[in-house]
Structure 1
Amino acid sequence: MEAVKNFLRPPSVQYLTDGAKSVFVPHYISNIFLSILFFLVKTVSPICDALFENCNLELKQWEWLTFLGCVIVLKNRKQVTVAEYISVACMFAKVLNLVLFYQINVPYAFIYGLVCLLHFVFLPMPTYKGPEYVTYFRGPHLKNEIARDKKVTWVICFYAAWSPPCVNFAPIFAELSSDYNLENFQFGKLDVSKFSKEAEEYQVNTSSFSKQLPTLILFQDGKEKMRRPAMSAKGTVVNYKFTKQNIVNDFEFNQIYGTCKKLLPASKKNKEQEKKEN
């Protein structure tokens, strides 16, 4: 069972294991290779002998690489997964590679850009393709559904389609719904960019500078029990890393799953077990 595995495995080990699994795929391996390609062809003999006049990086090129490292560190401060960190780092590195190739030889830059384009087309970023059990709500339907049956525990993701953090979180939420869904433990989503009234009702800021997207709220007995990101006593948003393990631990998914499953009739327990096995 997923819940038992998550309970027995320490969070740090879980994070490293999930990170390793997510990046050891053709997309990320080739992306890393493209990111260091200029350094390799410019310093490794006999490749550099054939392509360039010498096999040494110039002082200006070293300065650009150092500047790249600083940019990557600054831009990756808020990334929550290994895959996201690598994606951002590789994006800036490939731009610099293109500039460096262009400064030396324009045809080299053209070929490198073409290879990057082919990589984007034929080796796209992997996404979660498993099953999901998510109900997509519109407007007041969410409030009505939560109030309709207070025995059902709901986890609702308030998101905006234009928000990159929401896009990155979508596969994680889908996977959580697949792992923990029960008839009385449900997952739902509401696009607050389309339903401003509900965004205001649930106190979710939808501005382009909002730090509340996405917002995850747990409802039990028809009432909000907790949310992430939380608000501080001063009314500011507390930064939160939306990793799968953080959510499972902070929202106590394993305990909720076990409690909800015990409350199900025997016939429905068997039905849920069959669904998980399939």
Structure 2
Amino acid sequence: MALLTPLFAFLYHLPQVYKWLLKPYYVASLFMSVAFLAVRKTPGICDRLATQREDGNSCDFDWREVEILMFLSAIVMMKNRRAITVEQHVGNIILFSKVANVILFFRLDIRMGLLYLTLCIVFLMTCKPPLYMGPEYIKYFSDKTIDDELARDGRVTWIVEFFANWSPECQSFASVYADLSLKYNCAGLKFGKVDIGRYGEVSKKYKVSASPLSKQLPSLVLFQGGKEVMRRPQVDKKGRAVSWSFTEENIIREFNLNELYQKSKKLSKTRGDKVPAGVLSPGLRNCTQ
């Protein structure tokens, strides 16, 4: 059963994975991830490569290359235990495959290693993972609007994500947060986002570090009456973020979304707010009925 569960999950998301893999970013990443395999196995190219195999077969992996690939597989498995979306699973595989390729190419030939490393740097600087563009019911704040919007109506509870577009964790979390907004958004419970990579003053005011080494991205903060009530991940006395998994189940439980949603229905009925067409989900329909 332990093996069947991830298999069924993969098959369920297969159409979505297929759609992602057709995007230029993932197509290019896939080719870069299998670059060493292609070079080592392509006739006419592999015949000229150096090898440490006893049989002198330069078109097959030697024992050291097998060790490196096995070590890569172990790291990917460990990292993917904490992954919460298919994007994160695929991203981990691509990232560590590139790292392994750099090591393998440098070991084979320093010139090939430098060429591959240069390609990786150029790719990193010029290509970004595609942003989530699916349906959502989220208000995007700027440094000039966030304070006014949070304090506008004391009856409204806000859940605000502090994110940065360059953060892979934030990019992977985007679809999860959008799905929650479609299920739970109501007149009394709203979802917002603010890009602290763009608005540095917001980062300082709400004490969410936007450093590339920060473990606070993304951060979810619950506001009631314009005041912060709780946040995840929590920050200890030394200013370090406490590790926390941004799964949909964890967020629903920690932020009591089901209870907040039930309370928000009362405010929806008294205010008679309507949800714009095109963003309704079963949860939103129930909220406005």
TM-score when normalising by structure 2: 0.64
1:250, 1:18 → 2: CA distance? 29
Contact 2:165–2:197 (Cα < 8 Å) also in 1: yes
Offset of residue 156 of structure 1: 0.8
Q: Which has the higher helix share?
A: 1
Q: Within 2, Cα distance between the matches of 1:87 and 1:18?
A: 18
Offset, 1:224:
1.6
Residue 173 in 1 paired to residue 167 in 2? no
What residue number does 2:166 align with? Answer: 162
| CA displacement, residues 209-251 of structure 1 (integer Å, 9 cap, x when unaligned) | 2221221111123322211111235553211122233222221
Structure 2: which amino acid aligns with 1:157? E
The corresponding residue for 1:144 is: 148
Larger RCO, structures 1/2 (Cα 8 Å, 6+ apart) = 1
Corresponding residue for residue 216 of structure 2? 212
1:153 CA displacement: 1.2
- Tell me by how many angstroms 1:201 deviates: 2.4
Q: Does 1:256 align with 2:260?
A: yes
Please give the alpha-carbon distance, in whole angstroms, between the structure 2 residues aligned to 1:223 and 1:73: 40
1:190 positional shift: 1.8
Q: Would you say 1:64 and 2:58 are equivalent positions?
A: no
The CA deviation at 1:79 is 3.9
Does the 8 A contact of 1:140 with 1:198 survive in 2?
Answer: no
Query: Which of these residues, 223, 227, 231, is aligned with residue 223 of structure 1?
Result: 227
Deviates more, 1:197-206 or 1:75-84: 75-84
Separation in 2, partners of 1:37, 1:208: 28
Structure 1 window deviating more from structure 2 (34-43 vs 241-250): it is: 34-43
Aligned partner of residue 264 in structure 1, secondary structure: helix
Query: Which 10-residue stretch deviates more, 212-221 or 196-205?
Result: 196-205
Query: Does the 8 A contact of 1:177 with 1:186 survive in 2?
Result: yes
Counterpart contact for 1:128–1:175, Cα < 8 Å: no
CA distance in 1, matches of 2:191, 2:92: 30
| Counterparts of 2:97 and 2:19, CA distance in 1 | 19
Aligned in 2, Cα 1:210/1:57: closer, same or farther, shift over 3 Å? closer
Q: Tell me which amino acid in the other structure corresponds to 1:27.
A: L
Deviations 1:43-95 (A, max 9, x none): 9xxx99x9978685422321232342355357657644343133222343356
Quote the sequence identity (%). Answer: 35
| Structure 1 counterpart of 2:191 | 187
Q: Residues 212 and 18 (structure 1 numbering): CA distance in 2 closer, same or farther, change over 3 Å?
A: farther
Amino acid at match of 1:211: K
Three-state SS of the structure 1 residue aligned to 2:211 is coil
Q: 1:212 to 1:127 in 2, by over 3 A?
A: closer
Question: TM-score normalised to the size of structure 1?
Answer: 0.66
CA–CA separation in structure 2 for the residues paired with 1:86 and 1:206: 24
TM-superposition CA deviations, 1:152-200 (whole Å, max 9, x none): 1111111223333223323322232222222222111222234333322
- Corresponding residue pairs, total: 254
Q: Distance in 2 between matches of 1:269 and 1:18?
A: 39
